Amino acid sequence: MATPSEVRTFIPVRIAVLTVSDSRTPADDKSGQTLADRIVEAGHVLAARDIVTDDKDKIRDKVLAWSKDGGIDVVITTGGTGFTGRDVTPEALEAIFEKRMDGFSEVFHRISFDKIGTSTIQSRATGGVVNATFVFVLPGSPGACKDAWDSILKAQLDYRHMPCNFVEIMPRLDEHLRRGGK
């Protein structure tokens, strides 16, 4: 099992949280608040937080804007990953992923299966990279947000996590752009 290195120093990451919902407000956004609380408790910076409706263009535009903001390293969305007609977050974001992170979805579903059984198949959680920014697409339940943060993201967004983590590769996420190709 991977462990934090006692040699490395913690590096705070700047994380934005986007709740995708037609009905949530800042006062009752439990999933967004769950993520915001965990981000700050882990020592990271909550760089931005917003709510948009279940609209592909609004979701995509917000994530694209944040991915171009030098003050944001990671975007985590919550909501819109199910199968109903309004659940469009994966469609909105996978279309702009430069690189897709299949392993995130697979590990998320494994962890989720251990907690909620076969109901995990009703989520289309995913992850990828947009403009050298990590983007994680989570279900809209506080439990799913806790599971994703506590079991995956907390460790991978900690530079001390060994043998490897997302923080150590962040400076190289845009290498393809610097070489002039995609």
The CA-based angle 30-35-41, given to 5 degrees, is 120
Q: Is the pLDDT of residue 5 over 90?
A: no
Regarding predicted confidence, which is higher, 5 or 10?
10
Q: What is the mean pLDDT of residues 13-39?
A: 97
Share of the chain above pLDDT 90, in %: 90
Residue 175 confidence class, pLDDT cut points 50, 70, 90:
confident
Q: What is the pLDDT of residue 7?
A: 84
Candidate from 103-112, 113-122, 168-177 with smallest mean pLDDT: 168-177
**How far apart, in whole angstroms, are the C-alpha atoms of residue 141 and residue 31?**
6
Q: Work out the pLDDT band at 178, boundaries 50, 70, 90.
A: low
Asked whether the predicted pLDDT for residue 54 surpasses 80, the reply is yes
pLDDT value, residue 180: 57
4: pLDDT strictly greater than 80: no
pLDDT at 45 over 90: yes
For residue 145, count CB atoms less than 10 angstroms from its CB and return exposed for 0-12, middle for 13-18, buried for 19 or more.
buried
Instruction: Write the pLDDT tens digit of every residue in 67-113.
Output: 999 999 999 999 999 999 999 999 999 999 999 999 999 999 999 99
- Domains along the sequence of the chain with CATH: 8-167 (3.40.980.10)
Rounded to two decimals, the pTM is: 0.94
Q: Which amino acid is present at 70? A: G
Average pLDDT score, the chain: 94
